[in-house]
Structure 1
Amino acid sequence: MAERLAVLLLAHGTPDALDEIPAYLSNVTGGRAMPDAVIEEIRHRYSLIGTSPLTRLTLEQGRLLGAELDVPVYVGMRNWKPYIKDTVEQMIGDGITAVVVICMAPQNSRTSVGLYKRAVLAAAGERLRIDFVEGWADHPLLAKAFAEKLRPLWQSLSGEVGSSVPVLFTAHSVPCRTIQTALASDGAPAQNPDPYAVDAKHTAETVADCGPGLKEWYFAFQSQGMSGGPWIGPTVEETLRALHEEGHKVVLIDPIGFLCDHVEILYDIDIAFREYGRNLGLRVERPQSLNASPVLIAALADIARRGLARLSQP
C-alpha cells in the first residue's frame, strides 16, 4: 500500500469563550488547581481583547501552508480544540501513514515543544511514522519574516524622534526549573540542558542582523506565570524601567517568540506593557504580528519539504 504523507502544525490552543477558561487552564496545568483569583484575572484579560484569535490564525497558517505543498496539512492544539489526539485520529482515519510535525513555537523547550512531542507520540503510538521538528529558531526565513514587519515601523519611529529607537525583543518566559541544567548521577552537568533561552536570544540576534542597521536592541522574557515559583527573566517591566532611566522616550517591543496574535500580545503588550510604559513616561509600540505572513509560510514550507524528503527516503 502506498504511503500517504502529511504535515501537522501544533500550537498551544486557546479557549473560544470566557466560560471555557477554567477547563482550559486545567489542561494547561495538567489538572493542577489554580487559585480563583488567577482564573478571574485571566478571564478579565481575555474579556478585554474579546477573544484570542490563536486557533483561527493557526488554522489559516495551515491552510496557506497546504496551498504551498502537495500534501494535506492538519492542525492540532495541546490545550484546547482541535486537540492533538483528535487531529491524530482524523489523520489516521484519512489514511495518513507518515507525518512531518512542526511546532508553531520555533524555540525549543521542554515546556512547549517537549510537551507537544509527548502528546503526538502518545496519540499516534505505532500507527504513524513521525518526523518531529525539534526547533527552527535559526531559520533564515523566520528572521526575514520578523524583520519585514519590524523594519518600516522602526524606521518611522526613529525618524519621528530623530534618533535610533531601541528594540526590545521578547519571548514567553518559562519556569526557572525548565532551563536549569540537570545534574548527572556523578554531579556533573548533564549533556542536554534546555535550549530555550539560547534559542530565543539567537532568534532575536538573527532578526536584528536582518534589520536596517539595528544596533541598539535588548532582550527580555514576558508573560511570567501567576502560579508560583520563579520564572526566567529579565522581565519586560524591569527592562522598560532601565530604558526609561537611560533617557529613552520610545521603545519598540518585538515579540519574536510568537507567530501570531493572541493574549500574550493583544493583552500583555498592547494593554499591560503600554500602560506600564505610559506610567513611566515611555511610549511603547510593536510591529504587526506575523499571522499570515507569506515569508513565514515560506519558512514553514521549507521545513516541511525537508521533513517530507526525510520520510520519503528508503
Structure 2
Amino acid sequence: MIDRVPHLLAPYDAVLLASFGGPEGPEEVMPYLRRVTAGARIPDERLEMVAEHYYARGGISPINAQNRALRAALAAELDRRGIPVPVVWGNRNAEPFTARALDEALAAGATRVLALVTSAYASYSGCRQYREDFAAALVDRPVELDKVRAYFDHPGFVEANVEAVVAAFAQAPEQARLVFVTHSIPDAMQEASTVDGPGYVEQHLDVAAVVAAQAGERLGRVLDWDLAYCSRSGPPSQPWLEPDVNTHLEALAAAGVRAVVLSPIGFVSDHMEVVHDLDTEAADTAAGLGMQLVRAATAGTHPTFVRGLVDLLLERAAAERDRAAGRPVAPPV
C-alpha cells in the first residue's frame, strides 16, 4: 500500500507510465494491429504485410521490454529522491491496458495519478489520443489523473540525444551527414498540431537544431543535418509528411554523400519503428547505395533522460500545489 508520508510528488500518489504497447507473441500480432488501426478500414491483407515485421522477430515487439526497463528506472530514481509512490504501466493498444494499470494503482490506495507518456512530442497520436484513452479508462474508477507536458525540448531528453549523436559520429567518417528521423503523420494531423503552439514538425526542427549544435560543439565542427520520416501507414491518396528516410538516403547518395548518421529523434526507445524501419529497411537502402550508415541510440533508460522525466513529474506536482494554494501557474500542455 501507498506510504502517506509527505513527499515532493504530492498531491499525486502514483505515477502511470503510459505507452503505445505491442504484441508479445505471434497470436497477439493481428489483434494488436486491428486495435491500432480501428476505424481506418485497413483490410487484413495489408495488416498481414505489417505483421510480417513482427513475425520475423517471433511475434514480439521490443517496446514492452523497454517499458518494463523504463518503469524500473523511474521507480529507482523516485526512490533515490525519497518519493514513496508506485509506478504502474499501461498501454493504449496491448496488455497491460491503461484500465488495468489504474486498477493496480487503485489497489495500492492511489487517489490521484500523474501520467507520463512515452511520446515526447505534442500531436494527436502523441498527446490527445492518450487523453482519450485515459478518459475511457477513468469511467467508473474513483481516481483523478493528470498528464505531464510534452518534453521534446526538456534538457534531459536533449542531452541523451546529444550524447547518442556524438557516440555515433565516433563510428562514422568525419564527412558523414546527420539525418534526424521521426514517425511520419498525415499532413492534416500536422496542421491540427499547430493550433495551440509549435506544430509537430516545428517541434522536431527545434530540438534537432539544438541537438545538432550541441553535438557539433563537442565534436569540434558544424554538423549539416536534415529531418526525414519513417513508418508511413496511410493510403497513397492521403498526404503524409515527407521525405521518407529511404527516399532521402537515395537523394543524398545522388548528391555524393557516402556516409550518414541516423538519429531517431522522434522516438524515446528502440521499438519496432526503429528496429525495422531504420535498422532493417533504411540500413538495406544505404547498403544498396554503397553508403555507410551508423544509427544513433534512442534515449531509452539513459540516466540523464530518466532524471529529466522525474524532474517533469515534480514540475507538474509543484504546479498543482501552487494551483491549490491559489498561486498563478502556467496552463498544462
TM-score (norm 2): 0.84
Q: 1:89 to 1:238 in 2, by over 3 A?
A: same
Unaligned runs of at least 5 residues, structure 2: 5-10, 325-333
Equivalent position of 1:146 in the other structure: 161
8 Å Cα contact 2:205/2:227 also seen in 1? yes
Q: How does 1:130-209 map to 2 (within 5 A)?
A: 130-158=145-173, 163-181=174-192, 191-192=195-196, 195-209=199-213
Residue 77 of structure 1 and its aligned partner are, at CA, apart by 0.6
8 Å Cα contact 2:158/2:211 also seen in 1? yes
Residue 310 of structure 1 and its aligned partner are, at CA, apart by 2.8
Residue 214 of structure 1 and its aligned partner are, at CA, apart by 4.2
Q: How does 1:143-292 map to 2 (within 5 A)?
A: 143-158=158-173, 163-181=174-192, 191-192=195-196, 195-211=199-215, 212=219, 213-228=221-236, 229-292=238-301
Residue 57 of structure 1 and its aligned partner are, at CA, apart by 0.8
Q: Tell me the amino acid that sits aligned with residue 41 of structure 1.
A: M
- 2:55 counterpart of 1:41: no
8 Å Cα contact 1:110/1:194 also seen in 2? no
Equivalent position of 1:187 in the other structure: none
Report which stretch shifted further, 256-265 or 123-132: 123-132
Alignment partner of 2:14: what SS? Answer: strand
8 Å Cα contact 1:179/1:193 also seen in 2? no
Equivalent position of 2:330 in the other structure: none
Residue 128 of structure 1 and its aligned partner are, at CA, apart by 2.7
Q: Tell me the amino acid that sits aligned with residue 307 of structure 2.
A: A
Equivalent-residue separation in structure 2 for 1:113 and 1:191 (angstroms): 14
Equivalent position of 1:309 in the other structure: 318
Equivalent-residue separation in structure 1 for 2:198 and 2:50 (angstroms): 28
- 2:69 counterpart of 1:63: no
| Count, aligned residues | 302
Unaligned runs of at least 5 residues, structure 1: 183-189
Q: 1:292 to 1:4 in 2, by over 3 A?
A: closer
8 Å Cα contact 2:162/2:211 also seen in 1? yes
Equivalent-residue separation in structure 1 for 2:195 and 2:178 (angstroms): 33
Equivalent-residue separation in structure 2 for 1:181 and 1:123 (angstroms): 25
Q: Tell me the amino acid that sits aligned with residue 206 of structure 2.
A: H
Residue 34 of structure 1 and its aligned partner are, at CA, apart by 2.4
Residue 36 of structure 1 and its aligned partner are, at CA, apart by 2.9
Equivalent position of 1:185 in the other structure: none
Q: Tell me the amino acid that sits aligned with residue 179 of structure 1.
A: Q
Q: 1:5 to 1:44 in 2, by over 3 A?
A: same
8 Å Cα contact 1:13/1:78 also seen in 2? yes
Residue 241 of structure 1 and its aligned partner are, at CA, apart by 1.5
Q: Tell me the amino acid that sits aligned with residue 199 of structure 2.
A: P
8 Å Cα contact 1:170/1:256 also seen in 2? yes
Residue 105 of structure 1 and its aligned partner are, at CA, apart by 0.5
Alignment partner of 1:168: what SS? Answer: strand
Which residue among 74, 82, 86 is the counterpart of 1:72?
86
Residue 166 of structure 1 and its aligned partner are, at CA, apart by 0.5
- CA RMSD, Structure 1 to Structure 2 (Å): 2.1
Alignment partner of 1:170: what SS? Answer: strand
Q: 1:38 to 1:214 in 2, by over 3 A?
A: farther
